């Protein structure tokens, strides 16, 4: 599914987005998607994207503010966000920088026809590509998290907390720890504590004395007494970490 966030400084253009890409347009073109946000505010745009619901961003470069669309795109990439970025702008001199942020397309304004084709193609690609995504229900919101982005999962009292490398947010759900891990069905996640599963791809170091795993993002995972045998010898920890 395509979840769009659109950023442009011209209110007239924002109105055109809402008019052209109505619910009927998505249905007519067999595109599974919707617009989550249409805004002229860079702060509102970034805040919405950081919630993890948006997977396609349409951005104008010239925003008539203290920042520009290219800087925002670079910021998202620096944070590790892999959402598709489409520039639709009159600032053609930024086309080279668009390649640097792995933009899906760079469309000169007004490029409505090209944008329609781009979204239709993107939708077709999504349908033919298996998405390694887990849905996590947090109160009244459902988040769709790339599994490869999850560093570890921990049970804390009555909730299961999911931690990711590209977002400072913690996704807390009432779903059971084992139930969630079973749904992911991913061999990279191994139990290091009765309340913790760790993604072995993010393990940076092992402290045998403190019985702690340090992850690449600086987070720590305790090793429980029942699971410490996995780390006593070189062969054991190599097997655990799939080395």
Domain ranges of the chain: 2-128, 133-240
User: What is the mean predicted confidence (pLDDT) over 130-143?
Assistant: 84
Tokens representing 214 are 């340090």
Identify the pLDDT of residue 204: 94
Identify the pLDDT of residue 132: 82
For residue range 17-33, what is the model confidence (pLDDT) as tens digits? 999 999 999 999 999 88
For residue range 78-99, what is the model confidence (pLDDT) as tens digits? 877 778 999 999 888 989 899 8
Q: 10 Å Cβ neighbour count for 239?
A: 12
User: What is the mean predicted confidence (pLDDT) over 151-159?
Assistant: 95
User: What is the mean predicted confidence (pLDDT) over 58-87?
Assistant: 87
- pTM of the complete model: 0.57
Judged against a pLDDT cut of 90, whether residue 242 lies above it is answered with: no
Q: Which of 38, 44, 46 is nearest to 14 (CA)?
A: 38
Please state, in angstroms and rounded to a whole number, the distance separating the CA atoms of residues 167 and 177.
20
Tokens representing 218 are 């600086």
Kindly give the interhelix angle for 42-49 and 69-78, rounded to the nearest 10 degrees.
20
Identify the pLDDT of residue 167: 65
User: What is the mean predicted confidence (pLDDT) over 32-60?
Assistant: 88
For residue range 191-227, what is the model confidence (pLDDT) as tens digits? 999 999 999 999 999 999 999 999 998 899 999 999 9
Q: Which of 193, 213, 143 is nearest to 171 (CA)?
A: 143
Query: What topology does CATH give the domain 133-240?
Result: OB fold (Dihydrolipoamide Acetyltransferase, E2P) (2.40.50)
Judged against a pLDDT cut of 60, whether residue 130 lies above it is answered with: no
Please state, in angstroms and rounded to a whole number, the distance separating the CA atoms of residues 76 and 102.
11
Could you tell me which residues come within 8 angstroms of residue 141 by beta carbon, excluding any fewer than 6 positions away? 53
Please state, in angstroms and rounded to a whole number, the distance separating the CA atoms of residues 50 and 52.
5
Query: What topology does CATH give the domain 2-128?
Result: Rossmann fold (3.40.50)
Tokens representing 182 are 């079973």
Identify the pLDDT of residue 214: 95
**Per-residue confidence at 129, pLDDT binned at 50, 70, 90?**
low
Q: In what order do the strands lie in the sheet with 220-222?
A: 203-207, 212-215, 220-222
3-state secondary structure the chain: CEEEEEECCCHHHHHHHHHHCCHHHHHHCCCCEEEEEEECCHHHHHHHHCCCCCCEEEECCCCCCCCCHHHHHHHHHHCCCCCEEEEEECCHHHHHHHHHCCCCEEEECCCHHHHHHHHHHHHHHHHHCCCCEEEEEECCEEEEEEHHHEEEEEEECCEEEEEECCCCCEEEECCCHHHHHHHHCCCCEEEEECCEEEEHHHEEEEECCCCEEEECCCCEEECCHHHHHHHCCHHHHHHHCCC
Sign of CA dihedral 111, 116, 120, 122: positive
Q: What percent of the chain has pLDDT over 70?
A: 97
Per the CB < 8 A criterion, the answer to whether 112 and 20 are in contact is yes
Q: Are 2-128 and 133-240 in the same CATH fold?
A: no
**Per-residue confidence at 190, pLDDT binned at 50, 70, 90?**
very high
């Amino acid at each position: 599914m395509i979840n769009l966030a659109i950023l442009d400084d011209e209110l007239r253009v924002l109105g055109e987005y809402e008019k052209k890409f109505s619910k009927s347009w998505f249905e007519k073109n067999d595109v599974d998607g919707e617009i989550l946000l249409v805004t002229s505010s860079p702060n509102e745009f970034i805040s919405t994207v950081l919630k993890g619901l948006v997977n396609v961003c349409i951005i104008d470069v010239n925003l008539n503010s203290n920042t520009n669309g290219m800087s925002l795109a670079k910021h998202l990439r620096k944070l590790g966000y892999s959402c598709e970025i489409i520039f639709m702008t009159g600032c053609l001199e930024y086309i080279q920088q668009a390649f640097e942020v792995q933009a899906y397309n760079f469309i000169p304004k007004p490029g409505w026809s090209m944008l329609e084709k781009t979204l239709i193609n993107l939708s077709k690609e999504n349908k033919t590509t298996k998405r390694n995504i887990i849905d996590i229900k947090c109160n009244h919101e459902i988040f769709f998290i790339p599994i490869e982005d999850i560093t570890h999962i921990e049970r804390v009292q009555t909730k299961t907390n999911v931690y990711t490398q590209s977002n400072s947010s913690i996704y807390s759900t009432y779903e059971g720890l084992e139930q969630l891990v079973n749904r992911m069905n991913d061999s990279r996640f191994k139990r290091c504590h009765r309340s913790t599963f760790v993604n072995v791809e993010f393990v940076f170091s092992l402290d045998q004395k403190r019985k702690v795993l340090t992850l690449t993002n600086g987070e720590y995972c305790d090793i429980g007494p029942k699971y410490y045998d996995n780390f006593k010898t070189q062969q054991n920890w190599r097997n655990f970490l799939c080395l």
